[in-house]
């Protein structure tokens, strides 16, 4: 498994992840316009952090993962988020991808921790955080997407 920087050619991956099944814990599928905005953000190299495509050993693209800055209460952390296409789930790919993102975020040397905020009902992502070595700080309200409040777990990994 390796991570490659998000490219113009990867828009199909956003579309493939924009299903009811894949967005069940993320507020549902996004509009075509929102997906285009997302593509623009993922390509923007001026933003701190990086969005990557997860490429598996046979060269196939299996999903996405990234890290970006999240500021609240006067503090800035790295935040991460991920999606693995259904055909590739259950093979440890997300666990390996998180380890790579943690290495990249640590190498930036700017923030001491990497956070993830899966919905409390997202069993797979919560299991993944635990397996990847994150510490559960507890549940809290989180606005995602904008205007949609959900109860999320705040998981933190010391870098």
The residues binding ligand COA (CB under 6 A) are 22, 25-26, 81-84, 89-95, 118, 122-125, 127-128, 131
Nearer to ligand COA, 124 or 136 (CB): 124
Token representation of residue 124: 């797979």
| Cis peptide, bond prior to residue 87, ω within 30 of zero | no
> In the chain, what's the furthest Cα-to-Cα distance?
43
Which of 46/58 has CB closer to ligand COA?
Answer: 58
Q: How far apart are CA 7 and CA 52, in angstroms?
A: 9
Centre a 10 Å sphere on the Cβ of residue 159 and count the other Cβ atoms it contains.
17
Residue 20 beta carbon to ligand COA: minimum distance, rounded to whole angstroms: 11
CB of 7 to ligand COA, least distance (A): 20
CB nearer ligand COA, residue 13 or residue 104: 13
């Amino acid at each position: 498994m390796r991570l490659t920087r998000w490219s113009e050619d990867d828009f199909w991956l956003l579309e493939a992840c924009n299903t009811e099944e894949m967005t069940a814990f993320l507020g549902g599928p996004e509009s075509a316009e929102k997906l285009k905005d997302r593509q623009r953000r993922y390509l923007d190299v001026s933003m701190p952090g990086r969005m990557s495509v997860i490429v598996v050993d046979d060269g196939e693209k299996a999903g996405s993962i990234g890290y970006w800055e999240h500021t609240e209460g006067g503090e800035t952390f790295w935040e991460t988020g991920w999606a693995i296409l259904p055909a590739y789930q259950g093979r440890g790919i997300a666990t390996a991808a998180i380890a790579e993102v943690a290495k990249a975020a640590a190498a930036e040397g700017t923030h001491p921790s990497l956070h993830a905020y899966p919905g409390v009902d997202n069993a797979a992502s919560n299991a993944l955080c635990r397996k990847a070595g994150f510490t559960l700080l507890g549940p809290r309200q989180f606005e995602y997407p904008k205007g949609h409040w959900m109860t999320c777990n705040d998981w933190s990994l010391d870098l």
